[in-house]
Amino acid sequence: MAKRQSKRLGKQTLKMQNPPAILSHASVVGTKEAQGPLKDWFDVTLSDDMCGKSTFEQAENEILLTATRMAVKRAGLAQDDVHFFLAGDLLNQIVSASFAARELTMPFFGLYGACSTMCESLSLGSILIDGGFADTVLCASCSHFATAERQYRNPLELGSQRPPAAQWTVTGAGSTLLGAEGKGPFVEMVTVGKVNDWGISDANNMGAAMAPAAVDTLFTHFEDTGRRPEDYDLIATGDLGAIGSEILREMMGQHGIDMGPHYTDCGLEIYDREAQDVHAGGSGCGCVASVLNSYLLKRLEQGDFERILVCATGALHSPTTSLQGETIPGIAHAVSIVRRKGE
């Protein structure tokens, strides 16, 4: 019997035999994000965070629909040409993604990885295409500041004070259309994360809760592949913010890995922390989704980068578990993207 060829590298990394191409991508952000440093990179910036809808939840659904439809249209495809739609969000029962799937009528896998969902969808979408199970997969995630505040903390009407460690949930959505053939960029590898829990129970300190998971995934990626941070033009975590990013640098240093100038965080890039009063930075499913599908992929396409590593992080808690005194588990998935195949 012929030995099966493995696509695994080390413990948790998968190398694509036929790297899926990024056919198109799209990003939509809210009014606060449109005032930040990346404002010129986004495809759509809202003038009304309600999107003309009667509820914030309906508005979140609308920004996800806008991003997904734009990505499909940009690729010159119809909705029926998409074999699978992989998406998720932060709300109970992932209603933003599910209600978007109701409108898109594509075969749908609903995902929940909290703020890591964008890289989770890219990982699974790439596996589906490389495995020959699909020719096109639409990957997406979204969040809305007001819906997240209502679910996880307090409704905006209460005017609750935010502690310094708190992060600002991004109102935004991002969508990436993967294909079996295309001019690229290409998804080269994915490193699937494990759940880490270092005992953080403060729901207002997401950066500290998620940082250990990002460290575990990044260290494993470097160990599996034999690479170092300098092998990437940029390494971006999803939304650790100021506190989580510093914890990551310190913990990686304890592993003997200096992240150096090659490392940033999407939660730090999307806002001007001082001018916009977002405390520790940005967070939410829409954080890495909107930054990846605008600033990062556009810079990759125009040749500023040749290879990037995106490691989206998620806090796997709920309001109920937090009120019960449970600690906050974290997860992180990493995706390596190259401008040219075989780079």
State pLDDT tens for residues 312-343. 999 999 999 988 999 999 999 999 999 997 75
Domain covering 186-338 assigned CATH 3.40.30.10 in the classification: no
Name the band, by pLDDT with cuts 50, 70 and 90, for residue 204: confident
State pLDDT tens for residues 11-47. 999 999 999 999 999 999 999 999 999 999 999 999 9
Q: Are 308 and 337 spatial neighbours (Cβ–Cβ below 8 Å)?
A: yes
State pLDDT tens for residues 41-69. 999 999 999 999 999 999 999 999 999 99
The distance of Cα 77 from the centroid of its chain, to the nearest Å, equals 24
* Domain edges within the chain: 14-179, 186-338
DSSP character at residue 160? P
* Pair type for strands 84-88 and 108-110: parallel
Is 14-179's fold the same as 186-338's? yes
For the segment 149-153, the average pLDDT, to the nearest whole number, is 85
Claim: this prediction has a pTM higher than 0.85: yes
Element (H, E) at 322: helix 319-323
Q: What is 14-179's CATH topology? A: Peroxisomal Thiolase; Chain A, domain 1 (3.40.47)
